[in-house]
Amino acid sequence: MRVVLATHNAHKAAEFQRMLAVGVPGIEVVTYDGPSPVEDGVTFAENALIKARTAAAHTGLPALADDSGICVDVLGGAPGIFSARWDGGRGDDRARVQLLLDQLADVPEAQRGAHFSCTIALVAGGVETTVEGLWPGALARETRGANGFGYDPVFLPAGEGGASAAEISPERKNAVSHRARAFAAITPLLAALPR
């Protein structure tokens, strides 16, 4: 069976394809190359559904999409759904990370709590489902590590001995991350799709 993955983000696509190969054998994942919808939802779930609906309508296939970001406690959950546009869309991952570090420069360690959030939407056969995965941790004061992408170099996941998400192996990240946790919740639904 074929499922379309509604993302143009190559890093996300690679993570999803690795997880699907292990978690749901027999599903062929194709990446979405159609038009990008306007993500004007106010929650991760709304944006994930917008993307999945668009991909399903465009391809006629069951569609998976995710929306994810980093949520900083002292910022009231921001950047949140604006994580990829936190710098106003002017920069890249490095610019967004640096802006976040600059905004938190005076925040003490005890108040640097944060988590990654991921909502995965599945649209198949007229049924829409969303699941959520959270990865708790805190923000570092500087970037560390060469693995991962986005905010990984400044995110210190709980239970990883102080290593950043960019310092743990991709295999470890794929087992414990917010995306992995959401994926674990969506796996039974994918496995139950008619073949």
Instruction: Write down the catalytic residue from 33, 40, 66, 67.
Output: 67
Q: HEC states along the chain?
A: CEEEECCCCHHHHHHHHHHHHHHCCCCEEEECCCCCCCCCCCCHHHHHHHHHHHHHHHHCCCEEEEEEEEEEHHHCCCEHHHHHHCCCCCCCHHHHHHHHHHHCCCCCHHHCEEEEEEEEEEEECCEEEEEEEEEEEEECCCCCCCCCCCCHHHEEECCCCCCCCCCCCHHHHHHHCHHHHHHHHHHHHHHCCCC
Give yes or no: 67 in active site.
yes
Catalytic residue numbers read 67
